[in-house]
Amino acid sequence: MLNRLQLEYGFAGLVFLVGAIGLRGTVELETGWAADGPQAGFFPYRVSLILMAAAALVAFQAWRNRAALSQAVVVEAEGGGRVLRFALPVLGMVLVAQWLGLYLAMALYLLGTIRFTGKRPWGTALGVALGVTAITFVVFEKWFAVPLLKGPLEVMLGLG
C-alpha cells in the first residue's frame, strides 16, 4: 500500500536529487554573466536551485499536511503489483539497452511482455516483437536519419 504522503516525499526527493545532480554538473562551469551574455552554467545552475527549492517546498507542505496525506491511499497492494509487472521489465529494457543496443533490448522486451504478461503464443509474440522493432529501425534510422543506441549485434550486422 502506498499513501499520498509517501508519494509526495518520494517525488520531492527525486526532484531534489535531479536538481542536486544538475547543480553538481555546473561546478566546472562559470555560472555568472559575462560581457557577451550568460556563461555556460548560468541557466543550469539557476534551474537546479529552483528544482531543489521546489522539492523542499513540496516536502514541507507534505509534512504540514501529513495527517491527511497519510490516510489517502494511492496504490493498493494488488495495483502496485500490476504496476511493478509493467515497470520492472521497462527498467530492465533500459538497462539491457546499454549493452545490447536499443533495438535488441526492445525486441526482447516486447517478446517477453507479449508472451508472458499477455500470454500470447510464441509465434505471435515473436512476430510482433520483430515487426515493431524493424518498423522502429526504419522510421528512425532511415526516414528521420536519427541514429539510436546500437549494440554489438547491430554493429556486427552492419547496421551501426
* Same domain membership, residue 32 and residue 71: yes
* Same domain membership, residue 91 and residue 114: yes
* Same domain membership, residue 57 and residue 29: yes
Q: What is the pTM of this model?
A: 0.59
Q: How many domains are contained in the chain?
A: 2
Cα–Cα distances (Å) from 35 to 32, 39, 91, in that order, read: 10, 9, 45
Question: pLDDT (tens digit, 9 = 90+) per residue, 15-58?
Answer: 999 999 999 999 888 888 989 989 889 999 999 999 999 999 99
* Same domain membership, residue 71 and residue 14: yes
* Same domain membership, residue 96 and residue 64: no
* Average pLDDT value over all residues in the chain: 93
Question: pLDDT (tens digit, 9 = 90+) per residue, 55-80?
Answer: 999 999 999 999 999 999 888 888 88
Question: pLDDT (tens digit, 9 = 90+) per residue, 88-117?
Answer: 999 999 999 989 999 999 999 999 999 998
Alpha helices in the chain (DSSP H): 4-25, 42-64, 66-71, 77-100, 102-112, 122-137, 152-156
Last residue of a domain, one of 75, 108, 137: 75
Classified as helix, coil or strand, 63 is helix
Range of the domain at 9: 2-75
Rounded distance between C-alpha atoms, residue 142 and residue 65, angstroms:
53
- Residue 38 φ/ψ, nearest 5 degrees: -65, 140
* Same domain membership, residue 100 and residue 47: no
Rounded distance between C-alpha atoms, residue 132 and residue 105, angstroms:
12
* Same domain membership, residue 95 and residue 70: no
